[in-house]
């Protein structure tokens, strides 16, 4: 049977077909829909773990039990999970263990453009790279087989355009995979130096066998065309290169670590010029050139940004269409109308505070007109960066500073930083903007919601309880829709000596029903524009007859009815519609 699936849906399908029984993930674009789709298969236990390190270790534990298990994350997630990743390469597996990792070239939704193909080499773990959804489904299944055959975790590397592109996919039935059960084996799973020394030798031996396997891997394919030009490529780059050079010969690599050296030599010998087309770093190129093969790659193709057929054409001076984009004002993402984060950041801006920030929807508060965030490095860093600033500059500085992160981010990697600040006598003012969900990635639950992946109720763990448990003495819950309360409580926290935690809680606007919209009474509006400072997409300025200056208007279709604008308005011009629409 055929259907159309995105790469992420295809990975989920492949895991199900392979008899996978345990899957764990932490959300992150572009990988999120992998677990979201696995959740739909009742045969697989699926969980949103609180971070990627936890998720990888959970899946590794399931593999110890002889169960086929999978973990999925975005590229930077593997940085968080790198510690168990490297050691799992030594330990190996019992049940097949596939680590799905999604890179984001072009940084559509990410803070960096790291090329995670490096991890395969660094951690000595074999890597598979599908070039479309069909291969994604098949490679998950092959990944489990390779994992069990060679006693190693397997990395399946996707990129945004694989994850979020759909194409035709064949479907197979599920083949149940029996859980073999747990047997103690400390030589394998307890990495004392004495054990690890032997394991390292085994890893090196395993890599040699995998290199032989790569030579025969069915999907490392040569497609002969004209022999003038031979293109070596992998993943989505193959699809682009096929569009640009339809007549060339291709060596399409799918098992990309370790590389099939003999096959590459064989191919290169038979073509006149070798071009290596890869997105990101020159990884294939470096290894192929180290084989002594002459080839062109990054001397022409850029390292930065997403690869597209157009970029390839430009790199090789192939006919360029003479059309340029029309100039148009940019449209970056914004906080939604009714977003509970807006008021908190309006006050942070108003009080002119330094705000170390973090990653989530609330990072959008860094943009005008709120301009309310100073830093954003990685998940959890708001707390620890603030602590460092405090230690370097002292209380005079930190009394005018807040650290801000979201609820999901707090559970992901905020707690350790909080314990650290309490223990090391920090003067930290932590603000948790709790919208009761992981909004940025599409509303996944987390411990603060008490909901589990499949929707059933688990144990709710309020961030306030955690803060108190960590020894924080000043902990308050605040309603972010009340600006006065928001401002007063932040001021109170700033005056407190030591660590404070404020939890601003109201569910994400996208999860609530809209309320009655507000409107601007044009009689009263004095064009002071103060309502424009909250950065609400529903409010704009317009000119009306009889008024010299532009006045504010509220788009009733966009207005959520949160009333923040009415609270900042000083001329009593913003009012609730009394008519029911």
Partner 1 sequence: MSKDQNKVTNIVICGVGGQGIILASNVLCSAVFNRGFDIKKSEVHGMAQRGGSVITHVRFGHKIHSPLIEEGTAYYILAFEKLEALRYLHYLKKNGKIIVNDRKIPPMSVLTGQTKYPEDILSKLNDRGKVYLIDAEKKANELGNERTVNIILLGVLARFLKFDPDTWDKALRENIKEKYIDLNLKAFNAGLKLKSENQS
Ligand X SMILES: Cc1ncc(C[n+]2csc(CCOP(=O)(O)OP(=O)(O)O)c2C)c(N)n1
Q: Kindly tell me which of 126 and 535 has the beta carbon lying closer to partner 1.
A: 535
Query: Closest approach of Cβ 77 to ligand X, in Å?
Result: 4
**Beta pairing partners, 551:** 542
Q: At what angle do helices 193-216 and 82-91 cross, to 10 degrees?
A: 80
Q: Residue 394: count other Cβ atoms within 10 Å of its Cβ.
A: 11
Interaction between residue 532 and partner 1 (CB under 8 A): yes
Among ligand X, partner 1, none, what binds residue 362 when CB lies within 5 to 8 Å by partner kind? Answer: ligand X
Reading the block at residue 149, the tokens are 């055959």
Phi then psi for residue 542, to 5 deg, are: -150, 155
77 is in the binding site of which of ligand X, partner 1, none (Cβ under 5 to 8 A by kind)? Answer: ligand X
CB-CB contact of 264 with 232 (8 Å):
yes
Q: Quick check: 441 binds ligand X (CB under 6 A)?
A: yes
Based on the shown chain and the rule CB under 6 A, indicate whether residue 361 belongs to the binding site for ligand X: yes
- Is 562 annotated among the ligand-binding residues? yes
Q: Taking CB under 6 A as the rule, does residue 21 contact ligand X?
A: no
> Which stretches of 475-521 are DSSP H helices?
483-495
Which residue's CB is nearer to partner 1, number 398 or number 444?
A: 444
Among residues 305, 394, 442, 469, which is the contact residue for partner 1, using CB under 8 A?
A: 442
Scanning the structure block, which residue is given the tokens 């780059």?
A: 237
By rule CB under 6 A, what string of x and - marks binding of each residue 127-166 to ligand X?
----------------------------------------
Nearest CA to 99 among 304, 257, 252?
257
Report yes or no: 277 and 232 within 8 Å, Cβ to Cβ: yes
Q: Which residues pair with 457 in a beta bridge?
A: 451
Answer yes or no whether residue 390 interacts with ligand X by CB under 6 A: no
Contact by Cβ (8 Å): 526, 359: no
User: Rule CB under 8 A: is residue 528 a binding residue for partner 1?
Assistant: no
Residue 494 Ramachandran class (φ > 0 left, ψ -120 to 50 alpha, else beta): alpha
> Residue 572: helix, strand or coil by DSSP?
coil
Give the HSE-up count for residue 141: Cα atoms under 13 Å, Cβ half-sphere.
Answer: 19
* Cβ proximity to partner 1, 325 vs 455, nearer residue: 325
Instruction: Please list the residues that pair with 158 across neighbouring strands.
Output: 102
Of 94 and 438, nearer to ligand X (C-beta) is 438
Judged by CB under 8 A, the residue of 37, 69, 91, 160 near partner 1 is 160
Of 41, 121, 150, 164, which one interacts with partner 1 (CB under 8 A)? 164
Indicate which single residue of 97, 362, 519, 560 sits in contact with ligand X (rule: CB under 6 A): 362
- Assign 148 to helix, strand or coil: helix
Q: Minimum distance between the CB of residue 407 and ligand X, rounded to whole angstroms?
A: 4
Establish if 317 lies at the interface with partner 1 (CB under 8 A).
no
382 binds, options partner 1, ligand X, none, Cβ within 5 to 8 A by partner type:
none
Give the binding-site size for ligand X (rule: CB under 6 A). Answer: 23
Q: What span, in angstroms and rounded, lies between the C-alpha atoms of 435 and 506?
A: 5
**Tokens 């083949």 sit on residue:** 175
Q: How far is the CB of 13 from ligand X (least distance, A)?
A: 23
- Can residue 324 be called a binding residue for partner 1 (CB under 8 A)? yes
For partner 1, the closer of residues 292 and 325 by Cβ is 325
CA distance 342 to 391: 29
Give the contacts of 418 (CB within 8 A, at least 6 positions apart). 383, 428, 430, 466, 467, 470, 472, 499, 501
* Interface with partner 1, residue 329, by CB under 8 A: yes
Angle of CA points 118, 121, 124, to nearest 5°: 140
- Give me the sign of the Cα torsion angle 207, 212, 218, 219: positive
Out of ligand X, partner 1, none, what residue 137 binds, judged by CB under 5 to 8 A for its kind, is none
539-542 and 551-554 strand pairing: antiparallel
Is residue 336 part of an annotated ligand binding site?
Answer: no
Is residue 51 classed as helix, strand or coil in its secondary structure? coil
Per-residue binding string, ligand X, 63-102, x by CB under 6 A, is -----------x-xx--x----------------------
Determine if 28 is a binding residue for ligand X (CB under 6 A): yes
Nearer to ligand X, 25 or 525 (CB): 25
Annotate each residue in 260-299 with x if it binds partner 1 (CB under 8 A) or - if it does not, as one string: ----------------------------------------
Per residue, the 3-state secondary structure of 449-467, as one string, reads CCECCCCCECCCCCHHHHH
Does residue 553 touch partner 1 according to CB under 8 A? no
- If the CB atoms of residues 510 and 571 are measured against ligand X, the closer one turns out to be 510
Whole-Å CA distances, 324 to 28, 73, 317, 417 = 33, 36, 17, 48
Q: Does 309 bind partner 1 (CB under 8 A)?
A: yes
Q: What are phi and psi of 424, to 5 degrees?
A: -90, 25
Contact set with partner 1 (CB under 8 A):
3-4, 29-30, 32-33, 108-109, 132, 160-161, 164-168, 236, 239-240, 242-243, 308-310, 321, 323-326, 328-336, 361, 364, 367-369, 440-442, 532, 535, 537, 539-541, 557
As annotated, the binding site includes 525, 528, 531, 536, 559, 562, 565, 569
As annotated, the binding site for [4Fe-4S] cluster includes 525, 528, 531, 536, 559, 562, 565, 569
Contact set with ligand X (CB under 6 A):
26-28, 52, 74, 76-77, 80, 359-362, 379, 406-409, 435, 437-441
């Amino acid at each position: 049977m055929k259907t159309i699936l995105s790469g992420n849906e295809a990975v989920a399908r492949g895991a199900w077909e392979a008899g996978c029984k345990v899957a764990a993930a932490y959300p992150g674009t572009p990988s999120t829909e992998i677990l979201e789709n696995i959740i739909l298969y009742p045969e697989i236990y699926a969980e949103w773990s609180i971070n990627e390190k936890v998720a990888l270790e959970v899946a590794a534990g399931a593999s110890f039990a002889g169960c086929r298990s999978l973990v999925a994350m975005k590229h930077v997630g593997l940085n968080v999970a790198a510690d168990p990743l490297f050691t799992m390469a030594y330990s190996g597996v019992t049940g097949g263990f596939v680590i799905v990792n999604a890179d984001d070239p072009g940084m559509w939704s990410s803070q960096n453009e790291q090329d995670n193909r490096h991890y395969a080499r660094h951690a000595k773990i074999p890597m598979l790279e599908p070039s479309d959804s069909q291969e994604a489904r098949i490679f998950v299944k092959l990944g489990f087989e390779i994992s069990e055959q060679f006693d190693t975790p397997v990395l399946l590397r996707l990129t945004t355009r694989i994850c979020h592109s759909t194409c035709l996919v064949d479907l197979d039935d599920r083949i149940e995979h029996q859980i073999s059960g747990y047997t103690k084996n400390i030589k394998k799973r307890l990495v004392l130096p004495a054990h690890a020394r032997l394991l390292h030798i085994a890893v090196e031996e395993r890599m040699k066998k995998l290199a032989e396997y790569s030579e025969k891997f069915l999907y490392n394919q040569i497609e002969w065309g004209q022999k003038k030009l031979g293109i070596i490529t992998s993943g989505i780059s193959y699809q682009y290169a096929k569009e640009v050079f339809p007549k060339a010969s291709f060596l399409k690599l799918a098992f990309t670590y370790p590389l099939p050296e003999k096959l590459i030599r064989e191919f290169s010998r038979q073509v006149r010029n070798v071009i290596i087309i890869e997105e990101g770093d020159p990884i294939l190129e470096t290894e192929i050139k180290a084989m002594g093969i002459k080839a062109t790659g990054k001397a022409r193709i850029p390292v930065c940004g997403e690869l597209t057929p157009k970029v390839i054409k430009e790199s090789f001076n192939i006919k360029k269409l003479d059309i340029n984009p029309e100039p148009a004002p940019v449209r970056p993402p914004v906080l939604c109308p009714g977003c509970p984060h807006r008021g908190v950041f309006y006050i942070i801006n108003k009080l002119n505070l330094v705000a170390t920030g973090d990653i989530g929807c609330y990072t959008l508060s860094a943009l005008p007109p709120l301009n309310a965030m100073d830093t954003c490095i990685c998940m959890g860093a708001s707390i620890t960066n603030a602590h460092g600033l405090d230690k370097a500059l002292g209380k005079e500085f930190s009394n005018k500073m807040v650290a801000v992160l979201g609820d999901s981010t707090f559970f992901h990697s905020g707690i350790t930083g909080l314990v650290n600040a309490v223990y090391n006598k920090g003067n930290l003012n932590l603000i948790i903007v709790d919208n009761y969900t992981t909004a940025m990635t599409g509303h996944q639950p987390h411990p603060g919601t008490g909901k589990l992946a499949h929707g059933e109720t688990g144990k709710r763990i309020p961030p306030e309880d955690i803060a108190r448990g960590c020894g924080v003495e000043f902990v308050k819950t605040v309603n972010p829709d009340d600006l006065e309360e928001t401002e007063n409580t932040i001021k109170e926290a700033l005056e407190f000596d030591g660590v404070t935690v404020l939890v601003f809680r109201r569910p994400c606007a996208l999860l609530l029903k809209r309320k009655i919209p507000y409107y601007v009474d044009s009689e009263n509006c004095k064009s002071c524009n103060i309502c424009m400072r909250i950065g609400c997409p529903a409010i704009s300025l317009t000119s009306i007859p009889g008024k010299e200056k532009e006045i504010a208007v509220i788009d009733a279709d966009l207005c959520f009815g949160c009333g923040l604008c009415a609270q900042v308005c000083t001329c009593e011009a913003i009012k609730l519609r009394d008519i029911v629409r």
